[in-house]
Amino acid sequence: MNHASLRCVIIRWAVTCLAALALSGCKSPVPLHPPLYARFYLEASPGEPGVPVRGGSITVGARPVLTEYDIANAGVGQTELGQCLQFYLTSVAARDLHRLSQKMRGRRLVLALNDALIGAQYLDRDLPDGTIMMFVEIPDAQLPSLVARIRQTSANLAVGRPK
């Protein structure tokens, strides 16, 4: 092999490596799981306009009272009745929930994940600390993976949110 052909091989190799390196950065990472949007709706009172929630027979207000942007963290809670989803809200959302729990006592707070109803609880007391514990129609064994997806969705949304 002469000097010119060796130089040509080295140049081709370098161009190939640079092209591979440049193209490898173009791929967007594919999320392991699709986003899971947790939204809380307030049950509509009789005669009040609302929309039926897919998967249930409760009519709720057209707009959620809390959204995935209001969730600071989530976890699996343990009570004497069993496991439940536990949501920790941002400070602003916690104040909103406290006011709502005082004003709308007797109505239900309805949890929908990706617009499918999975749980509801009566607002029967003040909720001053920004924590919601919600029993859901999902097997306990699936709750940890559900919580992981909710956390990941809220964390991804929080990246672009001002502090």
For the chain, which residues make up each domain, given as ranges?
Answer: 38-158
Q: What is the pTM of this model?
A: 0.75
Positive or negative, the CA dihedral 49, 120, 114, 104 is positive
Mean pLDDT of 98-120: 93
**CATH class of the 38-158 domain in this structure:** alpha beta
Name the average pLDDT for the chain: 82
Q: What gap in Å lies between CA 101 and CA 122, rounded to an integer?
A: 9
Burial class of residue 88 (count of CB atoms within 10 Å of its CB; 0-12, 13-18, 19+): middle
Q: Cα(147)–Cα(137) distance, rounded to whole angstroms? A: 14
How far is Cα 71 from Cα 95, in angstroms, rounded to an integer? 13
Name residues whose C-beta falls within 8 Å of residue 162's C-beta, 6 or more positions apart in sequence: none
What pLDDT is stored for residue 2 in this prediction? Answer: 61
pLDDT band (50, 70, 90) for residue 5: low
Is residue 154 within 8 Å of 72, Cβ to Cβ? yes
Residue 82 in this model has a pLDDT that exceeds 70? yes
First to last CA, the chain: 62
Query: Could you give the CA distance from residue 102 to residue 20 in angstroms, rounded to a whole number?
Result: 60
Out of 3-7, 29-33, 113-117, 129-133, give the one with best mean pLDDT: 129-133
71-100-160 Cα angle (round to 5):
25
